[in-house]
């Protein structure tokens, strides 16, 4: 398990680098595609609960240290996505092999829609009431589309990384 | 490894503060990965651009935008200066941006999230940049400094949902509070009384009221749309920032503090 954690941590840090160097700069209609949410989601869809949550924490915490938004929010949303997806993944709902080809993209798309809402709602819990005033709808749509498009290859990568770490689902 | 990490965090904590320490530590860890990705992504971007000297052209373009922005700022300030001159009898010795010292800085990073409109700049406390100082560029007010480290600072842009600015126009007899509406949505003002005479194209400048967050006369935004709800006693404004916030490369931090 420790080897798996190490591998996932390294890959997550690369995803973090990808987020900061590419996705946060190349915006779609001014919106940042949140790879730091997509990666834990994909780990979850691949059926890795612990690794998914771990990657969400690592990605979220490092991301939040670069932003002025409430610290820890990105991580909490990532954990929720990873956990929810892993429940589905373990039941084979989002499984790449047995489920219909469109199931994984649809689940990722729904996650892309839900994540910004969850973020704003948790922000309100953290007494930060201004987050909803931005372009939340645009953020939802862009992330949903982006997640849906790349869900299958990223989930395949997540499955490969999980196997590389020697972890069984 | 854990002990080394704890030691590093402790040192950073005692030297630059908790959040700054966390940010510095996180940057140390993530920087090699971000650098590697950047090294791969950048050439791909250049290939797409189809230009051999793309980087040089980009840098030159950024520099020119900066100079153009300064010229636009000066132009906009001339209009405000004219108004200031009209009121000179009552506003002698009021500080104005063109007479205040500035610290020029390069924008090093933009906010990585859609939920905050901020940029990081290359000058910090060691260069006299302090929290609360206004930041101007590209023809108008960009935002204000919200956090500093010895070698850098974070600027909250005027489009951030947590930004508020007191503005005025025309003779300067009326003031309004405008607020950011998010990265893509510019600025706005609501509950503007019907007796207020504002029309599209009007330039709004900082009012510089006593105790305000900004010195007077900095161009903030132009009125883009005036929306009147039938039956309402007030109307709302949609504003377009005077500064080109989409292409920030260099900025000037105005060394002015609210209490001065």
Residues B113-163 pLDDT 10s: 888 889 999 999 999 999 999 999 878 899 999 988 888 899 999 998 888
Chain A residues with CB inside 8 Å of B114's CB?
27, 30-32, 116, 134-135, 139
Residues A35-87 pLDDT 10s: 999 999 999 988 899 999 999 999 998 888 888 888 889 999 999 999 999 88
Q: Number of residue pairs across A and B with CB atoms under 8 Å? A: 111
Chain B residue nearest residue A17, CA to CA: B34
- pLDDT, residue B93, reads 45
Percent of chain A with pLDDT over 70: 90
Nearest-10 Cα torsion for B79, B81, B87, B88: -160
- pLDDT, residue B95, reads 46
pLDDT (mean) for A151-161? 91
Q: How far is A45 from chain B (nearest CA, A)?
A: 24
Q: Closest CB to A30: pick one of B37, B162, B184.
A: B184
pTM: 0.73
Compute the distance between CA of residue A34 and CA of residue B119 in angstroms, rounded to an integer: 18
Burial class of residue B198 (count of CB atoms within 10 Å of its CB; 0-12, 13-18, 19+): middle
Does residue A124 surpass a pLDDT of 80?
yes
Full pLDDT tens readout for chain B, 260 residues: 566 666 655 555 444 456 666 666 776 777 777 777 677 666 666 665 555 566 777 788 888 888 888 888 888 777 777 666 655 544 444 445 567 888 999 998 888 888 888 999 999 999 999 999 999 987 889 999 998 888 889 999 999 888 888 888 877 778 888 888 887 778 888 878 777 778 888 889 988 776 778 888 888 999 998 888 777 778 888 999 988 888 888 899 999 877 65
Q: Closest CB to B116: pick one of A14, A22, A69.
A: A69
- pLDDT, residue B111, reads 85
The CA distances from residue A121 to A70, A129, A132, in Å, are 12, 9, 8
Cβ contact A17–B38 (<8 Å): yes
Transcribe A56-118 into DSSP letters: HHHHHHHHHTTSSSPTTHHHHHHHHHHHHHHHHHHTTTT-TTTS-TTHHHHHHHHHHHHHHHH
Contact A78, A36 (CB under 8 A): yes
- pLDDT, residue B109, reads 85
**Would an 8 Å CB–CB cutoff place A104 in contact with chain B?**
no
ipTM over 0.85: no
Burial class of residue B94 (count of CB atoms within 10 Å of its CB; 0-12, 13-18, 19+): middle
What's the whole-number average pLDDT of chain B?
78
Q: Which residues are bridge partners to B167 per DSSP?
A: B176, B206
- pLDDT, residue B86, reads 56
- pLDDT, residue B89, reads 41
- pLDDT, residue A25, reads 80
Please state, as a whole number, how many other Cβ atoms lie within 10 Å of the Cβ of residue A119: 26
Chain B residues with CB inside 8 Å of A14's CB?
33, 36-37
Q: How far is A30 from chain B (nearest CA, A)?
A: 6
Between positions 6 and 35 of A, the ones with CB within 8 A of B are 13-14, 16-22, 24-25, 27, 29-32, 34
Chain A residue nearest residue B113, CA to CA: A32
CA quadruple B196, B197, B198, B202: dihedral sign: negative
Compute the distance between CA of residue A53 and CA of residue A3 in angstroms, rounded to an integer: 16
Q: Which of the residues B13, B41, B58, B115 would you substitute to probe the A interface, choosing the one with the greatest number of A C-beta atoms within 10 Å? A: B115
- pLDDT, residue B92, reads 44
Q: How far is A98 from chain B (nearest CA, A)?
A: 34
**Would an 8 Å CB–CB cutoff place B154 in contact with chain A?**
yes
- pLDDT, residue A30, reads 81
């Amino acid at each position: 398990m420790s080897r798996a954690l190490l591998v996932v941590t390294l890959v997550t840090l690369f995803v973090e680098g990808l987020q900061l160097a590419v996705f946060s700069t190349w915006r779609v209609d001014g919106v940042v595609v949140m790879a730091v949410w997509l990666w834990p989601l994909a780990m979850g869809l691949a059926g890795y609960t612990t690794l998914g949550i771990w990657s969400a924490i690592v990605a979220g915490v490092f991301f939040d240290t670069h932003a002025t938004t409430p610290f820890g929010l990105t991580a909490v949303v990532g954990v929720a996505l990873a956990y929810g997806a892993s429940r589905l993944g373990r039941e084979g709902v989002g499984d790449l092999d047995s489920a219909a080809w469109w199931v994984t993209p649809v689940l990722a798309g729904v996650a892309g829609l839900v994540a910004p809402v969850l973020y704003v709602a948790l922000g309100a819990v953290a007494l930060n009431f201004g987050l909803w005033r931005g372009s939340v709808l645009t953020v939802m749509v862009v992330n949903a589309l982006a997640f849906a498009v790349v869900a299958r290859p990223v989930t395949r990568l997540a499955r490969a990384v999980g196997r590389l770490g020697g972890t069984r689902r | 490894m854990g002990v080394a990490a704890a030691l590093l965090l402790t040192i950073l904590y005692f030297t630059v503060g908790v959040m700054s320490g966390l940010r510095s530590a996180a940057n140390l860890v993530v920087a090699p990965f971000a650098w590697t990705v950047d090294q791969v992504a950048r050439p791909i971007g250049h290939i797409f651009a189809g230009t051999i000297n793309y980087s040089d052209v980009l840098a030159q373009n950024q520099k020119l935008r900066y100079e153009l922005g300064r010229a636009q700022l000066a132009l906009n300030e001339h209009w405000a200066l004219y108004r200031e001159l009209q009121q000179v009898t009552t506003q002698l010795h009021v500080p104005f941006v063109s007479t205040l010292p500035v610290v020029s800085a390069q924008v090093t990073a933009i906010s990585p999230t859609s939920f905050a409109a901020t940029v990081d700049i290359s000058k910090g406390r060691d260069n006299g940049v302090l929290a609360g100082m206004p930041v101007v560029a590209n023809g108008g007010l960009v935002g204000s400094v919200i956090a500093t480290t010895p070698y850098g600072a974070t600027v909250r842009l005027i489009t951030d949902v947590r930004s508020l600015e007191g503005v005025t126009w025309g003779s300067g007899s009326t003031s309004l509070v405008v607020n950011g509406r998010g990265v893509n949505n510019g600025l706005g003002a609501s509950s503007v009384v019907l007796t207020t005479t504002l029309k599209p194209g009007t330039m709004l400048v900082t009012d510089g009221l006593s105790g305000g967050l900004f010195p007077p006369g900095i161009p903030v935004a132009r009125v883009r749309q005036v929306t009147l709800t039938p039956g309402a006693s007030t109307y709302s404004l949609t504003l377009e920032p005077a500064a080109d916030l989409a292409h920030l490369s260099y900025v000037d931090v105005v060394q002015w503090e609210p209490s001065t």
